[in-house]
Structure 1
Amino acid sequence: MKPYFFLIIASLLLVSSSIKAQNLSDKSNSLHLNFTGEGLPTSHSLPTIKWINPGMEYSSSVEAKISIQAAISSSKVIKKVTLNIGDDQSGEVLSSKLIKIEPHQKEVIINQSIWLPNGAVFLELEAADNHGATVSAQRKMTIGEGALKNMISMNRKDYALIFATDRYDHWSDLVNPIDDAHAMAKMLQENYQFEVEIVENASVEEVWSVLRSYNERNFNPQDQLLVFFAGHGHYDESFGEGYVVASNSLKNDVAKTTYISHNRLRGVIDNIPNEHILLAMDVCFGGTLDPVLARSRGLQSYTVSVSDMLIRKFDKRTRKYLTSGGKEYVSDGIPGSHSPFMSKLLYALSTNGGEDRVLTMSEIKSSMENLSQVPRFGSFGTDETLSDFVFIAK
């Protein structure tokens, strides 16, 4: 629920505590409230709607028939539940369906298949309780192969956020991270038309500040975001946790408060409102980003057309990671050259994905198999099965 809704409620409550009948309507991108009755309800008494499928706010389907799943709960008896299907371009409701509920229900589970028209549509669930409060939540979808192909080709962008540190206040300096970052940025911009931001020698505070700004950005449904860290890494045996070392991290910080913990990093990046994220780390002990160090699973290989492959991949929420090693130190390389990990990654990117012009994580993994320090691949956060991060050559 949006924070400003509660500000509206608080303001109205201050206007008059003697008003007996209230009418209030508030609308946001995902929530609509409309209630009447004896005074305003408290936030914890409103019905809640949890979408299970589609799970993403924006998604797509080649098939017109989809399965919807949702859970509705309320502290009061649920009086009515309505499913609306509409045209997302005009906002017009095309059809409405009452969901069957039993008397005195406070929880409703929805699990049914529906047919949707081709194009951009919205699904809206409305739940009303017996005190007159109505809450709604939406999901938006693109239906049909032709509509989705058009969206993939026209309405998407790839971004890269690269943190590179080679100068430290309390740790030994490194030789290659900054050069590696600029070489990678050049490759991503020229071969794949990424929009790249490089953050050099950032402090702990600056890293979190930049990541916060990405949490506050708006992304399109098919956009991708690569977040890359190059520099020192550290692992604490007592805490059982890995860390990224920032430019101002203390060398002997027992509490590790001046370090960037992998646990928090996973959570913050997972929360960025972008559906397709790859977190790559060329740091020592980077593989400890995964709580179960060796849990790396292969990605699905496809024998369908390139466009169909992209449709499937962009339809899944992606949270992948790629690190230069596991629970170990990794080489920074020799001065004037790239780190071994970066050299292999740049080589993979230089291939432009081969004939189909699409470089997948599976192909990157294959190009790195002969490194002496084996890179780690895996998933984190809210990753979905069969998802992937792809580099589409221009």
Structure 2
Amino acid sequence: MKNILSSLLILLVTCSQAQLVSDKTNAIRIDASQSVEGEVILPFISWEFPTREYTNSQEKKTKFVASIESSTPIKEVKLGIGKKRGAKPLATTTIEVPENTLKFQVEKDIYLRDGENVVSLIVTSEDGGTVVDYRNVLVGLDAISKAIDINRKDYALLIGTDKYDNWSDLVNPVYDVETISGLLSENYNFDTEVLTNPEQDDFLVKIKEYSQKKYKPQDQLLIFIAGHGQFDESFGEGYIVTKGSLQNDEAKTSYIPHSVLRNIIDNIPCEHILLVMDVCFSGTFDPVIARSRASVYEDLDDAELLVRKLSKKTRRYLTSGGKEYVSDGVAGSHSPFAQRFIEILKSRGGDDRIITLHEIYPVMQRLKTLPRTGEFGQNEKDSDFVFVAK
């Protein structure tokens, strides 16, 4: 987590591997009692629920769902319940797997006791490779303040405009938001929606829809906007340009003012919101041009870090520039800003699979046009936005 630049380099080396295994999850064991010839190809476990390693629940009954893939037949699948990772489970159940199965889905309702529960999924292939993966669930009414809510969700609304009635067309915004949407959905379990080439009314109505959603305390919302932007020196205001915006609109009534966008987003009843804008003059979103607030954190375990991040009300933004034009890039490629953002998401956060906004900004600063970051509205001190890879 602490060195995304290193993670980006590691990504190039590891992208061809079937599975990246750390000492925290997907622990590997080889059955030494069997005679194993050649390379052992390990099964791959992908949790569908809970997607995060450390969560909490006020409900004792929880359905655990995971997908298993193996290039050699799956020999045995077990679910265990215990108090500590790595220790022998207090109870285990064997799940029947048909012969010669290479893909298998586990769905099991488990009754958990109050307090800490460690659920282990143990998968053994016929060639002797065993993979163990864990999910920690804290159960009880006092759990909310101590761990990550098992039902928390991350949402992303991505708006890209590259076709304009009165402005010059762009080449990359729709491509950028669709690519980022795929990464957020597949790698970080975001519930994503893409809006392309909206009119002014469509843009505002869609934002309004997100203001009417019901959010839980630890839910997050990412709003990503790519397209043309404008700034008026007389009004001292920046604007989002939509599909039908006029080229020479003296009153700016066909644009969306940053001040209006700030207020609308600030009033969305989600505790944790990050606005990212890959738009010309986007740095003028903040009346005081983009202030960067970097923080240094002590070493915490994953659960403690995420609880800290999700305990502060977040109203933060990241923009592709300040009071200036920014590059749209070339056709068939991404904009420089979007490309760097995509590279960071592809890194999956390194060993702990967590990326924070405070880590993203230093990497984005290497761009030729300096991005800006800051806060708005009801933001609380030391707030942050987190991306947690599956």
Unaligned 5+ residue runs, structure 2? 1-57, 60-113, 116-139
What is the percentage of aligned positions where both structures have the same residue? 53
> Structure 1: how far apart are the matches of 2:326 and 2:198?
21
| CA–CA distance in structure 2, aligned partners of residues 251 and 243 of structure 1 | 12
1:316 aligns with 2:327: no
Using the TM superposition, name which of 215-224 and 297-306 deviates more.
Answer: 297-306
Which of 361, 364, 370 is matched with 1:365 structurally? 361
Alignment correspondent of 1:148: 145
Q: CA deviation at 1:301?
A: 2.6
Q: CA deviation at 1:294?
A: 3.9
Residue in structure 2 matched with residue 54 of structure 1 by the alignment: none
2:29 matched residue in structure 1: none
Deviations 1:63-111 (Å, cap 9, x if unpaired)?
xxxxxxxxxxxxxxxxxxxxxxxxx99xxxxxxxxxxxxxxxxxxxxxx
Q: Which residue of 1 aligns with 2:211?
A: 215
- Asked if the contact 1:230/1:283 (under 8 Å) is kept, the reply is yes
Give, in whole Å, the separation in 2 of the partners of 1:196 and 1:369. 26
The equivalent of 2:288 in structure 1 is 292
Q: Cα offset for 1:287? A: 0.3
For residue 306 of structure 1, the aligned residue among 290, 302, 312 is: 302
The offset of 1:251, in angstroms, is: 0.7
Larger Rg: 1
Give the match for residue 186 of structure 1: 182
Match of 2:252 among 246, 249, 256: 256
Say yes or no: does 1:393 pair with 2:389: yes
Secondary structure in structure 1 of the residue aligned to 2:322:
coil
Partner Cα separation in structure 2 for residue 276 and residue 391 of structure 1: 12
Is residue 329 of structure 1 aligned with residue 329 of structure 2? Answer: no
Tell me the TM-score normalised to structure 1 length. 0.62
Contact conserved, 2:149 with 2:218, CA < 8 A, in 1?
A: no
1:127-182 superposed Cα distances (whole Å, 9 cap, x missing partner): xxxxxxxxxxxxxxx985x54355x2402000000110000010000000011011
Partner of 1:231: 227
Deviation at 1:195, TM superposition (A): 0.6
Which residue of 373, 377, 381 corresponds with 1:381?
A: 377
CA deviation string 1:332-373 (max 9, x = no partner): 000000000001000011111111110011221122121100
Q: How far did 1:253 drift?
A: 0.6
| Amino acid in the other structure paired with 1:268 | I
2:333 corresponds to 1:356: no
Q: Return the letter of the residue paired with 2:243.
A: S
Q: 1:302 to 1:259 in 2, by over 3 A?
A: farther
Q: Distance in 2 between matches of 1:232 and 1:261?
A: 13
Q: Distance in 2 between matches of 1:381 and 1:249?
A: 27
CA RMSD of aligned residues (A): 1.9
Moved more, 335-344 or 290-299: 290-299
Structure 1 partner of 2:13: none
- Runs of at least 4 residues off by over 6 Å: none
Partner of 2:6: none
Give SS of 1:359's match: strand
Output the CA distance in 1 between the equivalents of 2:268 and 2:295: 23
In 2, Cα distance between the equivalents of 1:283 and 1:289?
10
1:240 is aligned, of 236, 245, 256, to: 236
**Match status 1:201 vs 2:197:** yes
Letter in 2 for 1:148: S
Q: CA deviation at 1:307?
A: 1.0
The DSSP-based 3-state class of the residue aligned with 2:174 is helix
Cα shift readout 1:241-285 (whole Å, capped 9, x = no counterpart): 100100011111101011010000000001001000000000000
Contact residue 299 and residue 388 of structure 1 kept, 8 A: no
Structure 1 residue 311 displacement after superposition = 0.9
Structure 2: distance between partners of 1:353 and 1:296: 21
SS for the counterpart of 2:145 is helix
Secondary structure, in 3 states, of the residue corresponding to 1:211?
A: helix
Partners of 1:247 and 1:311 lie apart in 2 by: 40
- 1:281 equivalent in structure 2: 277
Opposite residue 329 of structure 1, the aligned amino acid is Y
User: What residue number does 1:176 align with?
Assistant: 172
CA contact (8 A) 1:302 1:309 kept: no
Matching residue of 2:83: none
Task: Show CA shifts across 1:312-337 (max 9, x none).
Answer: 11110000100000000000000000
Partners of 2:290 and 2:373 within 8 A in 1: no
Q: Indicate the residue corresponding to 1:158 in structure 2.
A: 154
